[in-house]
Amino acid sequence: MGNFIKQTFASLIGSLLGLLIFVGLGSTGFILLLFAAASTDSGPKVKDSSMLVFDLSTKITDGEPDSSLILQQALSGNNQKRMTLRSVLDALEKARTDDRIVGVYLDARDSSGTESTGFATLKEIRQALTQFRDTGKKVVAYGVGWGEKEYYLSSVANTVVVNPYGGMEINGLSSQPMFLAGALEKFGVGVQIVRVGKFKGAVEPLILKQLSPENREQIQTLLDDLWGEWRGTVGKSRKMTPQQLQAIADSKGILEADEAKTNRLVDKVAYYDEVVTELKELTKTQSKEISFKQIDLNQYAQIGDMGKNRNSENKIAVVYAEGSIVDGDGESEEIGGTRFAQIFHRIRQDKDIKSVVLRINSPGGSATASEIIQREIRLTRDVKPVVVSMGDTAASGGYWIAVDSNRIFAEPNTVTGSIGVFGSIPNFQKIANDNGITWDSVKTGRYADIATTTRPKSPEELAIFQSSVNRIYGKFVDKVAKGRNLPQARVAEIAQGRVWSGKAAKDIGLVDEIGGLDAAIAYAATEAKLGDKWQLEEYPKASTFSERFFGKVAEDAQTVLKINQSSNPLKANHPLTKEFEKLQAELATLQQMNDPLGVYARLPFNLIVE
């Protein structure tokens, strides 16, 4: 028996050693292959008279994606292109003065990337395309089915072409919030709400079955501002008045290809091969070639910018705060209060970093986490300039962390404001009782079980929660008043949880300047008196190669495999799928609510403009 155990143990050890050697050799071989590939591949090449191709299926984000997202895409077979806004803007600026690039081709045959991109981000890209076009180089856009977002970007082109069997949806903007109150009521889940601000619509999906008059008013005003900016911007490019575009939206809504041309929304109706033929002429491509001379925007962004890359000991830190604000470190695409506080603490102590740009793209979230981040930002501002660049959304907690900066930049179609707080208190008494589950309680104090979800809260308990919400709202208003140098009464008037467009926010003093990320960076350089002697340093830091492949790879692989065990039977663009995705987003938002005090500064649930 003893020999058997020894032999079995020896066999096990031998198998483990063999497995380790196999994995080691495999990993070493994999790395050697990568280095070999890197040494033989000199990188993408740019031919003379090339067209820069911007595929509108590319997803644009503020910061670099987390390693887990890259792994998920690789294992799931989802090869959606991704680029950061910074790399898009840099590539277009580089192409503007690159004699080898004769134009930009906006490929809108698949425009799925713009679905998750807000109008503020699209405006920054559009402005970069306008500067490119103003040099005399051509911008050509081709698509099959345009919506307002894709056309907002594509309308900047010198020539807009639509497929003969294509068309466009020009019918205005809308928002359709999803309400869960009926479902919660049906399943016996009770929700009690404490809030401050008559416009704080974030709680309405839990307690109402339709929009309150106040929430309807603020969303209508916001959409009117965004639509007004859309009509003005598109109309300028297409030489049409806002009134003409409004008439098309009200009378047509959806236009077929010929109607789009008749109404001057496009310049040509043609097939893709016909567009390719014209692009061949523009790029001086021989007719025997299959396609025109081109380079993908993502590839072009990876090419050095011909000696213009800054190299300096002076750094401007760009911190990307993207996602919901949560307590703790947070996950991928979340703004963890602890993690971002540590980032600003390190930046404050780094003497090479002379100024900071905080890029915010967040609907808010945990009030506690917002305050933790805001405190570190305030301390950093005492040492070096901190400039805020608002992206598509910088509202509620997203505005909270912006308020103590030296200057706030926003695009006219940024969604911001929402200065208000709330708390939601669920209980599962009815659903449990209906299924034979009951509770009893023994306690040593009147409020010892105040945090329970087994029963509704008493009026006295609700008063305690309301007092906490009132206190935090008062602090929020006070922070805005001091940070923006506004009278308390004025802040109380424009707060109330109301959302504002970037343009309106500037008019009422919540924002300093209309401008994008580049404008904020330029201001940060000026404030720190750096001249042209500076370079950017981005945070949070992207994962290294070893971290991506050997750090969390097992955990990420497990997550991915679990996700891919079931597949969605409906196509991604199916209308029902979109409604399921909305529901999934609402439930995900509930999961992100982890504030230790149960108090939140957040936008109306996942405000989606369609």
Q: Tell me: the pLDDT tens digits for 446-470?
A: 999 998 989 999 999 999 999 999 9
State residue 287's pLDDT score: 79
- Distant-in-sequence, close-in-space partners of 454: CB < 8 Å, separation ≥ 6: 427, 428, 429, 432, 439
DSSP 363: -
Share above pLDDT 90 across residues of the chain, in percent, rounded to a whole number: 63
d(CA 316, CA 62): 16
In DSSP notation, 396-410 reads THHHHTTTTSSEEEE
Q: Which of 381-395, 492-506, 543-557 shows the lowest per-residue confidence on average (mean pLDDT)? A: 543-557
pLDDT tens digit sequence for 306-329: 434 567 889 999 999 999 999 999
Give the span between the Cα atoms of 312 and 299, in whole angstroms. 25
Burial 442-454 (b: 16+ CB within 10 A, else e): eeeeeeeeeeeee
User: Do 378 and 273 share a structural domain?
Assistant: no
Model confidence pLDDT, tens digit, residues 432-441: 899 999 989 9
3-state per-residue secondary structure call for 147-199? CHHHHHHHCCCCEEEEEEEEEEEECCCCCCCCCCHHHHHHCCCEEEEEEECCC
Least confident span in 450-464, 472-486, 506-520, 592-606: 592-606
Give Cα separations from 208 to 201, 202, 215 (angstroms).
Answer: 10, 11, 11
- Taking residue 232's Cβ as centre, other Cβ atoms within 10 Å add up to 13
- Confidence tier at 549 by pLDDT (50, 70, 90): very low
Q: Tell me what pLDDT residue 14 has.
A: 47
Query: H-type helices in 424-574, by residue range?
Result: 429-434, 459-484, 488-494, 502-508, 517-527, 545-546, 553-563
At residue 482 the predicted structure's pLDDT band, cuts being 50, 70 and 90, is very high
What does the pLDDT read at residue 563?
40
Angular region, 460: left φ>0, alpha ψ -120 to 50, beta rest:
alpha
CA separation, residue 19 to residues 7, 8, 15, 16, 52 (Å) = 18, 16, 6, 5, 47
Whole-number pLDDT of residue 311: 72
Q: Do the Cβ atoms of 265 and 146 come closer than 8 Å? A: no
Q: Find the mean pLDDT for residues 254-278.
A: 96
- Average of per-residue pLDDT values in the chain: 84
Distance between CA 155 and CA 264 in Å, rounded?
11
pLDDT digits 0-9 by tens, 240-251: 999 999 999 999
Judge if 148 and 221 occupy the same domain: yes
Which residue type sits at 252?
K
Q: Is the pLDDT of residue 555 over 90?
A: no
Highest average pLDDT, of 74-78, 141-145, 419-423, 545-549, comes from: 141-145
Q: Which amino acid is at 430?
A: K
Look at residue 339 and tell me if it is in a domain.
yes
Query: Is 56 in contact with 111 (CB distance < 8 Å)?
Result: yes
* C-alpha closest to that of 214 among 489, 497, 599: 497
Q: Does residue 2 form part of some domain?
A: no
pLDDT band at 203 (very low <50, low <70, confident <90, very high): confident
Domain boundary among 301, 332, 365: 301
User: In the chain, what is the straight-line distance between the N-terminal and C-terminal CA atoms, in Å?
Assistant: 73
Q: What is the pLDDT of residue 567?
A: 41
Whether residue 363 contacts residue 602, with contact meaning beta carbons closer than 8 Å, is answered with yes
- Supply the CATH number for residue 227's domain: 3.90.226.10
Indicate if 227 and 321 belong to the same structural domain.
Answer: no
Instruction: Name the helix (H) or strand (E) containing 128.
Output: helix 119-133
pLDDT > 70? residue 575: no
Q: What is the pLDDT of residue 593?
A: 62
- Read off the pLDDT of residues 53-73 as tens digits, 9 standing for 90 and up: 999 999 999 988 765 555 555
pLDDT band at 206 (very low <50, low <70, confident <90, very high): confident
Q: Are the C-beta atoms of 555 and 416 separated by less than 8 Å?
A: no
- Residue 551 is predicted with a pLDDT of 45
Q: Write the CB contacts of 384 (distance below 8 Å, at least 6 apart in sequence).
A: 348, 353, 354, 355, 356, 528
139, 268: one domain = yes
Instruction: Quote the CA–CA distance of 75 and 572 in Å, as a whole number.
Output: 18
**Same-domain status, 386 and 472:** yes
Query: Hey, is 416 helix, strand or coil?
Result: strand
The DSSP result for 86-108, as a single string, is: HHHHHHHHHHHT-TTEEEEEEEE
Phi then psi dihedrals of residue 146, to 5 deg:
-100, 140
- Length of the chain (residues): 610
Question: Average pLDDT of 83-108?
Answer: 96
Locate 133 and state its tokens: 């076009």
pLDDT at residue 90 greater than cutoff 70 = yes
| pLDDT score of 483 more than 50 | yes
Please tell me the predicted confidence (pLDDT) of residue 1: 40
Q: Where are the alpha helices (DSSP H) in 321-443?
A: 337-349, 367-381, 397-400, 429-434
Does 583 score more than 90 pLDDT? no
User: What is residue 19's predicted lDDT score, i.e. its pLDDT?
Assistant: 46
Q: State the residue range of the domain holding 352.
A: 315-438+452-542+573-602
Local confidence band at 542 (pLDDT 50, 70, 90 cut-offs): low
Residue with tokens 């916001």: 222
Is residue 556 situated within a structural domain?
no
Helix (H, G, I), strand (E, B) or coil at 507: helix
Q: Which pLDDT value is given to residue 77? A: 54
Does residue 364 lie within any of the structural domains? yes
Whether the pLDDT of residue 544 is over 80: the answer is no
- The total domain count for the chain is 2
Whether 21 is covered by a domain: the verdict is: no
Q: Are 299 and 44 in contact (CB under 8 A)?
A: yes
> What is the reported pLDDT for 423?
86
Query: What average pLDDT does this structure show over 528-555?
Result: 70
Q: Is the pLDDT of residue 6 over 80?
A: no
Indicate the pLDDT class of residue 424, thresholds 50, 70 and 90.
Answer: confident
Mean pLDDT of 190-206: 83
Same structural domain, 396 and 265: no
Same domain for 397 and 429, yes or no, is yes
254 and 384 inside one domain? no
Positions marked catalytic: 200, 396
- What is the pLDDT at residue 288? 83
Task: Please identify, among 301, 331, 346, the residue that sits at the C-terminal boundary of a domain.
Answer: 301
- pLDDT average, residue stretch 19-28: 45
With respect to residue 23, please indicate whether it lies within any of the assigned structural domains.
no
pLDDT for position 591: 60
Domain end position, chosen among 251, 270, 301: 301
What CA–CA distances, in Å, run from 568 to 33, 361, 565, 573, 581? 36, 29, 10, 12, 11
